[in-house]
Structure 1
Amino acid sequence: MSQYQRLLLIINPLLRRSPAINHAGALARASGATLHIVALVKTLDILWLLDEGSRKQVRESYLQNQRDWLKSQAEKLSGRGVAVTCEVAWADDIKQEISDHVTELNPDLLIKEVQHESLLKRAFFTPLDWYLLRQCQVPVYLLGGAAHALPRKVVAAVDVSTNGLENNRLNERIIQQATALAIQCDAELHLLYAYDVSQEYLAELGDGLKIAELTKGLRREFEKTYLDWASQHGVPADRRHFVVGNPVAALSEFTDEHQVDVIVMGRVQFHGLDKLLGSTTEHILYQVPCNVLAV
């Protein structure tokens, strides 16, 4: 039985050259899942300058134009064997509209194109994609520019620095999702861990040990844990990757160098300052030239 039965794609109908529809359609066809496409249209500010009669006419004409375009896109997918439905809706509150659709449809994946936001804007407002990573009840598949509609190389990015039950469960879910996606798309599956120990963390543990010696000891410990994970899940030696550096920078460099199509990562709930600054997965969205599947 396929991992995916229902896929939900959220699009901005103004971005008509976006590859999101083709990517979602390809995944639906490969997995045999149904695909529902929702085009959310923000209210046009200019409408408030018109009288009520003209406003209603312009609004309906604009929506019909979007419906006609989306219907033509859905017909193309249907011609390729995809079971697809679609709708266009006004959205005064896009976050709430997406949440309502997820609750109603309960899809296996929420698919959406990454919406790039400036660093300044992120400092004052929570980006929509960050909101979805934190609040969405289902895995979120964010399309960030992978060249292939169906992934050819999938990377499961685990974190073995913490050995708690919750972290182990999250690593298991990451590997399960990555494995399922790779199998359905006939893609290569790789396992990656980005090793990073801050100087502050090392200093706390020092107590007479040289930083270099402590670093080597921690690295050996983490690498052994990582290799044990890889062995338990039958990952071939040539698809195991233990990289060193800041996670965001290291993962970005790795995905670019190895032409990764999808990186599968965990979502972590944050509070206080961590919530303001964002998680590794959130910052990865603006760094990697590939898609991100967050579980």
Structure 2
Amino acid sequence: MADTERLLLIATPLMNRTPAFDRAAALARVRSAALHIVAFDYVEGIASAGLVNETAINEMREGYLHSHREWLEEEAKGIRHLGIQVTTEVIWVARPFEEILTYIQELKPSMVIKDLQHESWLTRAFFTTLDMRLLHDCPVPLHLVAKVQHGIPRKILAAVDPFRLEDQFEHLNDRIITTAETLAEQCNAQLHLLYVYDLSYIYAMDGGMGEASSVVDTLYEKESETFGRLADSYGVPEDRRHLIMGNPAKVIESLVVSAGIDVVVLGTVHRDVMNKLMGSTTEQLANHLPSSLLTVNPRSAQP
């Protein structure tokens, strides 16, 4: 078992099968990996009952956990029929985030898989959700699953930025592409490469002088050449290269729909003060993307 890759599926505390189950089973199968499923449980009504009768709360909690374990085991049986080694666990914890991070660090999975929870802008403005905290701190690749049209992904998009390297961590583009490339090979899927550039600031600085067009053409040519060299180095075919001007999050969402992308692979970065409200591109996508994300954390050690 020590030499077997292991994936970690963080299941919803509700006893219902979600898209993340299907994606986790599919990836475990194509990667010949073991799968560990864990649910972090907490029911406020049961917990508060302990103020009245501690014995009763313990019995209620154990009964609930027993039911959840049985349900999770039934789901695991269906996955085991695919020839996958599956283990399950249910943990009672009031505030799961710290427990989840500790759990990941101890288990050392090669990937964490979880359902993506789309939150309203109001919730995001006042609360840091579990998904956002995992995006920032998960030490291994994090796969957030919003929708599964194909259990095994057929099209995988690596979103990179060959420029603004001062804002990125060293070799992040290479890690993003390598992660996407490996997944594409395992799934026999198409690998697409995207760079979204924004030159609108050039027009804003033009001041009506009419010089913006030539400057934009020059910059576009330079960025096109740099993107082309990056794509060439990984052997990405011409028809799977996407160089598009616009807002990164909006462009990615549009391309996911138009090209039928199953998984978007991109990096997570620290937010600066100016972008705190809007969040990073990854955070914006996590709240709108109709597909799935696979994120690479540049702050974690490279495997």
In structure 2, relative to structure 1, the CA distance for the partners of 1:172 and 1:209 (3 Å cut) is farther
Match of 1:14 in 2: 14
Match of 1:102 in 2: 104
- Distance in 2 between residues matched to 1:168 and 1:256, nearest whole Å: 31
Report the alpha carbon displacement of residue 213 of structure 1 after superposing the two structures with TM: 2.3
What are the within-5 Å matches in structure 2 for residues 164-203 of structure 1?
167=169, 169-199=171-201, 203=204
- Distance in 1 between residues matched to 2:64 and 2:190, nearest whole Å: 43
Match of 2:158 in 1: 156
Amino acid across the alignment from 1:84: V
In structure 2, relative to structure 1, the CA distance for the partners of 1:39 and 1:229 (3 Å cut) is same
Q: Does the aligned pair in 2 maintain the 1:256–1:288 contact within 8 Å?
A: no
Q: Does the aligned pair in 2 maintain the 1:154–1:178 contact within 8 Å?
A: yes
1:135 aligns with 2:137: yes
What are the within-5 Å matches in structure 2 for residues 253-264 of structure 1?
253-264=254-265
Q: Does the aligned pair in 1 maintain the 2:115–2:145 contact within 8 Å?
A: yes
- Distance in 1 between residues matched to 2:15 and 2:214, nearest whole Å: 53
2:171 match: secondary structure: helix
Amino acid across the alignment from 1:138: V
1:223 aligns with 2:224: yes
- Distance in 2 between residues matched to 1:16 and 1:165, nearest whole Å: 41
**RMSD of the alignment, in Å?**
2.1
CA distances 1:131-165 after superposition (whole Å, capped 9, x unpaired): 11111111111101131111000111111222459
Report the alpha carbon displacement of residue 202 of structure 1 after superposing the two structures with TM: 5.5
Match of 2:290 in 1: 289
Amino acid across the alignment from 2:252: L
2:134 match: secondary structure: helix
Q: Which runs of 5+ in 2 are unaligned?
A: 297-303
1:293 match: secondary structure: strand
Amino acid across the alignment from 1:160: P
Q: How many residues align?
A: 291
What are the within-5 Å matches in structure 2 for residues 255-274 of structure 1?
255-274=256-275
- Distance in 2 between residues matched to 1:185 and 1:269, nearest whole Å: 31
What are the within-5 Å matches in structure 2 for residues 226-265 of structure 1?
226-265=227-266
Report the alpha carbon displacement of residue 216 of structure 1 after superposing the two structures with TM: 2.0
Amino acid across the alignment from 1:181: L
CA distances 1:88-112 after superposition (whole Å, capped 9, x unpaired): 0112111112101111111111111
Match of 1:35 in 2: 35
2:214 match: secondary structure: helix
2:127 aligned residue (125, 134, 146):
125
Match of 1:24 in 2: 24
Report the alpha carbon displacement of residue 198 of structure 1 after superposing the two structures with TM: 3.9
Amino acid across the alignment from 2:195: Y
CA distances 1:181-222 after superposition (whole Å, capped 9, x unpaired): 0001111111111121342x6555889672222222222211
- Distance in 2 between residues matched to 1:128 and 1:214, nearest whole Å: 43
- Distance in 2 between residues matched to 1:40 and 1:198, nearest whole Å: 45
Q: Does the aligned pair in 1 maintain the 2:206–2:212 contact within 8 Å?
A: no
1:272 match: secondary structure: coil
Amino acid across the alignment from 1:211: A
- Distance in 2 between residues matched to 1:12 and 1:260, nearest whole Å: 25
In structure 2, relative to structure 1, the CA distance for the partners of 1:43 and 1:13 (3 Å cut) is closer
CA distances 1:106-126 after superposition (whole Å, capped 9, x unpaired): 111111110111100101111
Identity of aligned residues (%): 41
Q: Does the aligned pair in 2 maintain the 1:10–1:37 contact within 8 Å?
A: yes
In structure 2, relative to structure 1, the CA distance for the partners of 1:233 and 1:205 (3 Å cut) is farther
- Distance in 2 between residues matched to 1:212 and 1:242, nearest whole Å: 18
Higher mean displacement: 214-223 or 147-156:
214-223
In structure 2, relative to structure 1, the CA distance for the partners of 1:68 and 1:56 (3 Å cut) is same
